[in-house]
Amino acid sequence: MGVDLSLYSVALGNTERYDCPVCGGRNTFTVTNNQGTIIFNCYRAGCSARGAWHKGRTREELKSLKDKRTSSPKPFKLPDYIQYGLANSKVVQYLHKHYCRDFAHRLPIAYDPRQDRILFLIKDEDTIIGAVGRDLSGKSKLKSLNYHDNISKPFIIGDTDTVVIVEDCTSACSLLRNPEYTGLALLGTNLKSAYIPWIKKYKKVIVALDKDARSKSLSIKKHLSFYCNDVSVWLLEKDIKDMEEV
């Protein structure tokens, strides 16, 4: 293996970044504790430091996992004033602008009249477990706002066996123009370890973050290659939600 993983203490489900012990790259070495399997990887070009090691779970980790399973998390609930569906012309115009005209009625959306945001609903079957609001006023400093605490499922729209990983919910919905694709939004540029089981379900994975996050796209592709057989990257010139064709 060539790397002494006992030097790196990473909590269950977390990823930490260090200087690479092989090539010396500054802050290029990541260590992930995925349910007791330690995955390490250096993102510096030419460095061979990568691999996985099953160390099992410590007694403390097993107890923490048991406590999480037996605790009762507070169910997610949106405020009563939220309006569901195509609530008004601003919502419709936003979806039309981003090439969602033909299937807008199929999207899991709502509207927050107090913050003037279109909401994209994250569901587990028929239960809403989270929501992401996109500002429609053009006045808020926060274009995107999470209405939930940390959740273990990304925003997914579509039912094909090819998933395209994007940053935001609008881009994920815009992918429905092409019947070959399912859209999956990371809700940012970071790949959470909790999202990996959802991504592993697809036969083909395409990473397509925005132009200013190309290095992140390549890093995510490299990381997902440990779990998925067919992973590729689209190097985009503009956001998918702003492209006339996909």
Per-residue pLDDT of 92-134, as tens digits, reads: 999 999 999 899 999 999 999 999 999 999 999 889 999 999 9
DSSP string, 66-104: HHHHHS-PPPP---TT-EESS-SHHHHHHHHHTT-GGGG
Average pLDDT over residues 205-231: 93
* Banded pLDDT at 54 (limits 50, 70, 90): confident
Beta-ladder partners of 118: 111, 134
Contact 184, 162 (CB under 8 A): no
- Domain assignment present for 28: yes
Q: Are residues 51 and 95 located together in one domain of the fold? A: no
- From first CA to last CA, the distance across the chain in angstroms is 42
Q: From CA 99, how far away is CA 176, in angstroms rounded?
A: 9
Q: Helix, strand, coil % (nearest 5) of the chain? A: 25, 25, 50
Range of the domain at 191: 83-242
Q: How far apart are CA 175 and CA 245, in angstroms?
A: 9
Say yes or no: 57 and 137 in one domain.
no
* Residue 139 clears pLDDT 90, i.e. is over it: no
**pLDDT recorded at residue 60:** 67
Rounded CA gap, 203 and 118, in Å?
31
Domain identity same for 23 and 118: no
Same domain assignment for residues 60 and 129: no
Mean pLDDT, residues 8-33: 81
Q: What's this model's pTM, rounded to 2 decimal places? A: 0.70
pLDDT tens profile 159-181:
999 999 999 999 999 999 999 99
- Residues 223-238 have pLDDT tens digits of 999 999 999 999 998 8
Please enumerate in sequence order all residues whose Cβ is within 8 A of that of 238, keeping only pairs 6 or more positions apart, or say none.
211
Is residue 236 domain-shared with residue 144, that is, in the same domain?
Answer: yes
- Asked, for residue 78, whether it belongs to a domain, the answer is no
The bridge status of strand 231-233 relative to strand 204-207 is parallel
For residue 69, the model assigns a pLDDT of 58
Assigned domain for 218 exists: yes
Total structural domains in the chain?
2
Give the mean pLDDT of 18-41. 82
8 Å CB contact between 110 and 80: no
Same domain, 50 and 87: no
